[in-house]
Structure 1
Amino acid sequence: MLANNSFSLETDGYSFLYRLVDIFIIITTFVIAALSYGIEFSQDYFTLIISTLLIYAYLSESMQLYRSWRVGKFSKMILLLSCIVSLTFMCLSAILFIFKLGDSFSRVVIVGWFFSAFILLISWRVVTKVIKSNRRKSGRNNQDIAIIGLTKSGHQLYDEIEQHFELGFRFAGFYDDRQPDRMTGLPINLLEGNIDKAIDLAKAGRIQKLYICLPMVAEKRIAEIIKKTGDTTVDVFIIPDFMLKNLMQARIGSVGSIDTISVFESPLNGMKHFYKRTFDIIFSAVAIIALSPLLIAISIAIMLNSKGAVIFKQDRYGLDGRKIKVWKFRSMTVVENASVVTQATKGDARITSVGRFLRRTSLDELPQFFNVLFGDMSVVGPRPHAVAHNEEYRSLVSYYMLRHKVVPGITGWAQINGWRGETDTLDKMEKRVEFDLAYIRNWSLMWDFKIVFMTIFKGFVGKNAY
């Protein structure tokens, strides 16, 4: 079973809530300011509000205001919010000045609006912080973490976690292969076992984050640990035993005053996630509307061709190893969703006559646009495999599970390069994973457009699709 990781309040659904509350505050404070000064609401003021919201949203997403602040500092978030509000006000003022629109609006209303909005945007975050702190004190909304290496840097990390409960971390213990006599001056009573035990916890989904606190000179040992954790969906970080911010290009994070290096973490965060999700929503909605006649025609053909449901929902693993239900048009006389799933092969007797055409042209995948619209899938990304195939290949292909660091897709880089359909040999799956990881490492929105464009011409059919 894959890890069912918990998420911080500022990610996923809660990040949407933060955006929604901010929008509500900005609109409400304007209405109050206008009514208080006796201003009649007009189309000009409506345009002003929309423009302000667009500027604020763009700056917020660009500066990653809605990213997770679980391991950040609240003061930094407030400072960033202050900068965004100030920049929004300056941008709006510049627009009004350049286009000579200042006389059309009340300066008192605009200044009062921004001041009150700024106070409320900060105030509701302070209230939320107090509530979250109380929840975390009571043990709710916490993430379980383990530290590999009972070292000085590991001990410092432990002290930061113990001193800052607001981080929302629950300490699962130190894990080290060394003998206790080599750990003089360190809290040996917190040692829970060897490194393999920590990796087993990660595979079982009992921890959400793993911090490697070994000396950087132990690069071979660190590389071995990283390779083993590639078979999990746990977030892995390296705690350097010296400051690295000026020495290397890397994604640097921190827990309090302790530096961390992200090893396995989703590359789609902040503005990248915003761009990709926006693209997915628009594209999937348009596709469903445009393809609705074809969807209806295929549904009728399936019902006339064989008995059974039109839509087949199969368990797959999605982002961070969470189970999702992937929709497909039924193309077989059987419905397999158990611990053992037999891949379709050439001339497979289970495939119906309509199903054979659908699979060859990938039209059986069209219902997955609903998965995209609901957020379980993306238009472009690594193809989600059946649960049984995941469990089979995760131990055979290095870094296989890293495919789940992004949302799975309807089409992908591997598919348009010919690695789709049956994976009857290990080398075929290795090539598919190789292309999937190349996509994840080098993602860009333009690459998504390129893959969609190429899918139209070469991704719907293939010699390996049965």
Structure 2
Amino acid sequence: MLVDGGAGQTELRPALPGRVAESAAPLGTALPGRSLHTRRQARWSRRYRAVLITADALIGVVAGIVMLVVRPGEDLPGSPYAWLCAALPLVWPLALGFSGAYSPEFYGTGSEEFRKVARGGLLLLAGVSVISYGAQLDIARSFVVFTVPSITLITLFVRFFARKWLARARRHGRCVKRVVAVGRDAAVADLVRRLQVDRYAGMEVVAACVTTPGAAARVESIGVPIDGDLDDVVDVVQRRNADAVAVTSASETAALYLRKLSWQLEGSGIELLVSPGLIEIAGPRLHIRPFVGLPLLSIEEPTFSGWKRVLKGALDRFGAALAIVLVAPVLAALAVAVKLSGPGPVLYRQERVGASGRIYTMFKFRSMVDGADAKLSDLLAQNEGNGLLFKMRKDPRVTRVGRWLRRFSLDELPQLFNVLGGSMSLVGPRPPLPHEVERYDTSIRRRLLVKPGLTGLWQISGRSDLSWEESVRLDLRYVENWSLALDLLILWKTASAVLRSRGAY
């Protein structure tokens, strides 16, 4: 059961509006004519899993050979160390399998697959340590401090490149699930738009069943045909050869409808996906828990303090200090280029709003002519953005050097000093201007619960190409679901987003 969560997938189960179907197929009755298509969809998943297992086994082979080369002679033949080297191509995939790293629901989206690979490494390490200690075996310390971390890291790289291939295939319409969306017109349209943007999720809406088919202009306007109402779902699934049914959320509940729909789909191999309407809350904060025999969706509070925040702050400052040292020659060269581009200061200083509404001065390399802020009022009529942001693809105030700096986000590098000083974080929401914050409503003000970031979900998702609503949604998703793993994933993807220079102007 999948629901978009920013950087992740989660399992969600809420309620559906509308009429309850009066008739349902007998319990356990599968849809006719489904076996061939279900097998065809399963084949690509099985092949993908087979490729991952083969790659992991090869990693084990190479690691075993390296271990034997490092400690030859006295451990051969028949020593526990030699047996471990020989068994590694089998043991490593088994450890990953037990940790859930081959689960199809995590293919291509979210960070859970990477977490499960890391858990596989911990499981292998724990298993070997327990066996070695219990049986008094002589296992080299190099296996603990070098081999397991190395094969875990290499496997993470393999998963990353496998995801790149899968995302590319899904952009071309392969390795996707055909989905029938069910619910109200507005909710279905919102679901379709999100899946069209996040094509890497591998879900394609091929038809919709809505509560009022005669008034579903929003869905039809984005190219999805209306094939009936809530009573027609099973027929539409069969006619459209769909693989999943996605039920959107609403304020009204219809548990009986969902129950009967699940019975009708039972045995067909078709997934029933249900959105809870908690778009920005996902990942480990959501759990299904039984209370007095009744399954309820439990939502944990987001973490805005504690040791994780302390660790994040320490990593921010250490990372910023290290980056400043490494890119010092680049900073110096860029400063000279900006100085030669025209009159005005090298650094542009601007007041921004940080965590808890505190005002701080943000640094950037100047990319516009001196006094550009005073000329903004003359360009407001040409604003290409919406919401609270001013956007203009060919802003006449931008210098030639500034346009190049913006293309690769090099003008943002001085913000490393903001991170070092503690007013910003390496990863976080987009730093807002004071006049923007004055117009925030209660929900958008949640962006101020954490420090703004040098990069974030907005940076890796399109930058200036994003609408105001989309940028807010991404920032809120980050605030609600922050984790160190998500930060590392965003930092990794930032390099690719900057090199592509998509949405940079």
When normalised by structure 2's length, the TM-score is 0.42
TM-score normalised by length of structure 1: 0.45
Which protein, 1 or 2, shows the higher relative CO under an 8 Å CA cutoff with sep ≥ 6? 2
